[in-house]
Amino acid sequence: MNFEGNPLSTLLATLSPYIVRVTVLETIQRSTEYLTRKGVESARLNAELLLARVLSLPRMRLYLEFERSLASKETDLMREYVKRRGQREPLQHILGGTNFCGLEMLVTARVLVPRPETEILAELAWQFLNRLPGEPLVLDYGTGSGCLAVTLTRKSSRCRCVALDVSPEAIEVARKNAEAHLVTERITFCLSDRLAGLSPGTRFNLLVGNPPYVSSGEIPLLDPEVRQFDPLLALDGGADGLDHYRYLAEHAAEWLADSGKMMLEFGDGQQDAIRSLLEGQNWIVEAVVNDYSQRPRIVVARRPVSVQK
Ligand code: GLN
């Protein structure tokens, strides 16, 4: 039977937000079920983080307010967020940012969402920079959101950084993050395809980066959050995923100071190929560092000794 247009059902629909109030706990439970059905990982955590944002509360406060009823505006907003998340839009896009090394970073669809494993790269980099004298100069190759450039200039108070990206939209996001963290004076933004746009004669003490490393053929196999919402430009590393590593192995040394280093994140199973690319160009591979799942993820290489400058 169809009740649409029925005066009673219209009245009920109008009044329902005032009569049927859902509580915080019910909202979390229903949203969790919905997100689980849609294949979202850590559905409950996602639901809680979205609701915390809707209610402008720290997530843990939700636990003290399980019985609180949501206002209809809050329910509407939550419904919208949960629907977007159910369509596999990344949580970070819906929230508009993410935490990286304890710093809030603005994130939009124009940049790769910063990942926890890149925090390991950041820490290795700032520890190295803090051991250097003077004002070390860093190149952030493919800065994206600027998470590395901003974090390094924050954690290493003497360093300066060139944040390079081929995407003007990414540079814009990185600049906003630098402004928010008050480090614009120590970061030079450089719109450049690979290393072509750098000022000749610059010598960096460190090149860091998380270049695109997914092989073109594997892009369709990535999670929807990555495949549909991270910029392809930040993911696609060519036929074998190694285009940028091959390029950097060949061209980065001439931009590095003596005893300069390169620290690069890479993808699953690429360790051997990257080591041989680097060693083939006389780089000294000093370390390969695992990520939180104990998979090799970051290579630390020292500049070849004999390089034509
Ligand atoms: N880590 C991304 C992924 O989830 C890839 C990022 C990159 O290509 N650098 O596949």
Look at residue 16 in the predicted model and tell me its pLDDT.
Answer: 58
The CATH number of 8-87 is 1.10.8
Comparing 2 with 277, the larger pLDDT belongs to: 277
**Residue 85: which residues within 8 A CB-CB, separation 6 or more?**
35, 38, 40, 46, 50, 91, 94
Q: How far apart are CA 273 and CA 117, in angstroms?
A: 20
pLDDT per residue as tens digits for the range 192-203: 999 999 999 999
The residue nearest atom 2 of ligand 1, judged by CA position, is: 235
Closest by Cα among 190, 200, 161 to 309: 200
pLDDT per residue as tens digits for the range 222-268: 999 999 999 999 999 999 999 999 999 999 999 999 999 999 999 99
Q: How far apart are CA 141 and CA 252, in angstroms?
A: 10
Is the pLDDT confidence value at 307 over 70?
no
Q: How far apart are CA 192 and CA 167, in angstroms?
A: 8
pLDDT per residue as tens digits for the range 61-112: 999 999 999 999 999 999 999 999 999 999 999 999 999 999 999 999 999 9
167 C-alpha to ligand 1 centroid (Å): 17
CATH 3.40.50.150 maps onto the chain at 97-302
219 C-alpha to ligand 1 centroid (Å): 10
Pairing of strands 137-141, 103-106: unpaired
Angle among Cα 165, 170, 173 to the nearest 5 degrees reads 130
Look at residue 21 in the predicted model and tell me its pLDDT.
Answer: 85
What percent of the chain stands above pLDDT 70?
Answer: 93
CATH 1.10.8 maps onto the chain at 8-87
The residue nearest atom 5 of ligand 1, judged by CA position, is: 235
Q: pTM of the full predicted structure?
A: 0.91
119 C-alpha to ligand 1 centroid (Å): 14
Q: What is the mean pLDDT of the chain?
A: 95
- Overall fold of domain 97-302: Rossmann fold (3.40.50)
Give the mean model confidence (pLDDT) for residues 271-286: 98
